[in-house]
């Protein structure tokens, strides 16, 4: 009986301490002028609830506090905005007291000159460099021919396998295609070395920034150092050779007729930007497009008709060109609808550079603003039957120009590689649907938060079309 009373007393003390900590932390952030919301535990905030509950956490907070509320997630006090018009305003007005505010682990690993880390003149330099690398002329003359040749080869012989794990295939496809565009002269052992380090780097960017042996963060930092070493060696070899290269690295290193001259460190950060930024979006969109097309035969029939028409007017070995990509209207609609439903980027982070008035509230200097765009994609006031896969909704040209269209970001941070990514997914879809038909092996679960993935793979039985 005495032991029971002691246990009960200890439990009550723990409850009181926890309650006091929660109340104290809430009081810390109860400054006049802040929006409503809860802050959770000291240091940890509500990050655990956010990562575990994901969209449900955001929906519950929105029901309690509206579409503009405070929280403490991802390691810092944060204002969450779920209002479409306000989100667009925030993205379009970065220079007015807002800068990019991505997690420290991502900034440490991707580099201080990464386009997500810089702002002002540095951002204009890095962004201008990226835009020049993905211009229509570059797409037509250099990038698309490489993409087409790669996809044609990469998608060969899939029907010879009993099953194909599309998740693994699209991950490797995206990385290898991007690396080929960056440095087409790499030999297979070098490609494998880059690939090994890159996958470690990706895991590190999504980790807690604790620099201890064995942590994902430490592994990510080491992988970044190894990639820097490989790139430094490659750049030195190219300078010593005196040859001219027409891949992305060649253009980044070019001194003549180059409006965007970068230092070697900036070039290495830019290469990582190109590899990293499109990796998850292109691979996940490619995988999920096949999933949605499998589940919606009418959409698959319409899409396949579009691609067979392109093949009918070309020789069997004739590559896709930029006009072919532009003619894929329904394919573009499928890509947008896939990106809307299988949301890869849940939102973007900004940081206040000074006390800032926003939406009638005063946001302190140094706070993050999480422009949470995920729920906008499922808003029934913006999309009719939002949970239904309906690519035909995007056949209206005005859809891409709507204020709530934020699938590729907005304002000065609008994705400069948007059309390159669409071209890669379109090319993959083209060669897949004109060569193969497929059925799901079945029984595999897809997870949509915090990342879209198939934990045990997404396996298909593939046969010739």
Q: How confident is the model at residue 184 (pLDDT cuts 50, 70, 90)?
A: very high
DSSP letter assigned to residue 43:
T
* Burial of residue 215 (number of CB atoms within 10 Å: 0-12, 13-18, 19+): middle
Pairwise CA distance, residues 305 & 327, whole Å:
12
Q: How confident is the model at residue 188 (pLDDT cuts 50, 70, 90)?
A: very high
In a domain, 62, yes or no: no
- What would the mean pLDDT of 400-415 be, rounded to a whole number? 77
In a domain, 258, yes or no: yes
Given a cut of 90, is residue 52 above it in pLDDT?
Answer: no
* Phi, psi values for residue 355, rounded to 5°: -55, 130
Edge-to-edge order in the sheet of strand 436-440: 164-165, 459-464, 436-440
Q: How confident is the model at residue 247 (pLDDT cuts 50, 70, 90)?
A: very high
Q: How confident is the model at residue 43 (pLDDT cuts 50, 70, 90)?
A: low
Given a cut of 80, is residue 16 above it in pLDDT?
Answer: no
Q: Considering only CA atoms, which of 325, 227, 289, 215 is closest in space to residue 438?
A: 289
**If you average pLDDT over each of 74-78, 207-211, 234-238, 415-419, which comes out highest?**
234-238
What's the confidence (pLDDT) of residue 211?
A: 87
The answer to whether the CB of 223 falls within 8 A of the CB of 201 is yes
Report pLDDT digits (tens) over 249-299. 999 999 888 889 999 999 999 999 999 988 999 999 999 999 999 999 999
Higher local confidence (pLDDT), 290 or 89: 290
In a domain, 66, yes or no: no
Instruction: Return the SS3 of 318.
Output: coil
Strand extents, DSSP E, 5-138? 68-73, 76-81, 98-100
Report percent pLDDT > 90 for the chain. 55
In a domain, 186, yes or no: yes
Number of domains into which the chain is organized: 1
Q: How confident is the model at residue 21 (pLDDT cuts 50, 70, 90)?
A: very low
In a domain, 27, yes or no: no
- What would the mean pLDDT of 199-215 be, rounded to a whole number? 87
CATH of the domain at 404: 1.10.630.10
Q: How confident is the model at residue 90 (pLDDT cuts 50, 70, 90)?
A: confident
Report pLDDT digits (tens) over 320-365. 999 999 999 999 999 999 999 998 888 888 889 889 899 999 999 9
Instruction: Give the contacts of 383 (CB within 8 A, at least 6 positions apart).
Output: 340, 377, 393
Domain that holds residue 366: 74-464
Pairwise CA distance, residues 219 & 197, whole Å:
9
In a domain, 307, yes or no: yes
**If you average pLDDT over each of 397-401, 405-409, 461-465, which comes out highest?**
461-465
In a domain, 81, yes or no: yes
In a domain, 417, yes or no: yes
What's the confidence (pLDDT) of residue 10?
A: 54
User: In this predicted structure, which of 7-11, 215-219, 307-311, 382-386 has the lowest mean pLDDT?
Assistant: 7-11
Q: Measure the CA angle with vertex 285, ends 116 and 266; round to 5°.
A: 25
């Amino acid at each position: 009986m005495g032991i029971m009373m002691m246990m009960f007393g200890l439990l009550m003390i723990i409850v009181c301490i926890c309650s006091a900590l929660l109340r104290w932390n809430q009081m810390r952030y109860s400054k006049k002028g802040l929006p409503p919301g809860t802050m959770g535990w000291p240091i940890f905030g509500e990050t655990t609830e956010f990562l575990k509950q994901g969209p449900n956490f955001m929906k519950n907070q929105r029901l309690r506090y509206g579409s503009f509320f405070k929280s403490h997630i991802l390691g810092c006090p944060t204002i969450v905005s779920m209002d479409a018009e306000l989100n667009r305003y925030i993205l379009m007005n970065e220079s007015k007291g807002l800068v990019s505010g991505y997690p420290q682990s991502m900034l440490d690993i991707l580099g201080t000159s990464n386009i997500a880390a810089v702002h002002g003149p540095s951002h204009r330099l890095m962004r201008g460099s990226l835009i020049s690398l993905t211009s229509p002329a570059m797409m037509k003359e250099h990038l698309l021919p490489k993409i087409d040749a790669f996809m044609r080869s990469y998608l060969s012989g899939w029907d010879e396998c009993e099953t194909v794990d599309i998740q693994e295939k699209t991950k490797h496809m995206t990385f290898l295609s991007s690396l080929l565009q960056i440095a087409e002269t790499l030999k297979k052992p070098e490609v494998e070395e880059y690939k090994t380090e890159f996958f470690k780097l990706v895991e590190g960017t999504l980790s807690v920034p604790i620099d201890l042996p064995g942590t994902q963060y430490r592994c990510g930092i080491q992988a970044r150092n190894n990639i820097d070493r490989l790139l430094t060696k490659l750049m030195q070899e190219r300078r010593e050779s005196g040859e001219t290269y027409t891949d992305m690295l060649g253009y980044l290193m070019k001194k003549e007729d180059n409006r965007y001259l970068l230092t070697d460190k900036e070039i290495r950060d830019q290469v990582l930007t190109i590899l990293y930024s499109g990796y998850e979006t292109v691979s996940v969109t490619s995988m999920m497009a096949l999933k949605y097309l499998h589940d919606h035969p009418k959409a698959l029939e319409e899409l396949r008709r579009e691609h067979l028409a392109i093949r009918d007017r070309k020789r069997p070995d004739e590559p896709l060109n930029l006009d072919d990509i532009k003619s894929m209207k329904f394919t573009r609609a499928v890509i947008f609808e896939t990106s809307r439903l299988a949301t890869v980027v849940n939102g973007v982070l900004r940081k206040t550079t000074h006390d800032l008035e926003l939406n009638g509230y005063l946001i302190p200097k140094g706070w993050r603003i999480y422009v949470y765009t995920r729920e906008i994609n499922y808003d029934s006031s913006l999309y009719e039957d939002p949970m239904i896969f309906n690519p035909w909704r995007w056949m209206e040209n005005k859809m891409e120009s709507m204020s709530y269209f934020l699938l590729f970001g907005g304002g000065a941070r609008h994705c400069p590689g948007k059309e390159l990514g669409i071209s890669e997914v379109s090319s993959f879809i083209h060669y897949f649907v004109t060569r193969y038909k497929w059925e799901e092996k079945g029984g595999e679960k897809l997870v949509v938060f915090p990342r879209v993935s198939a934990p045990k793979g997404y396996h298909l039985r593939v046969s010739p079309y």
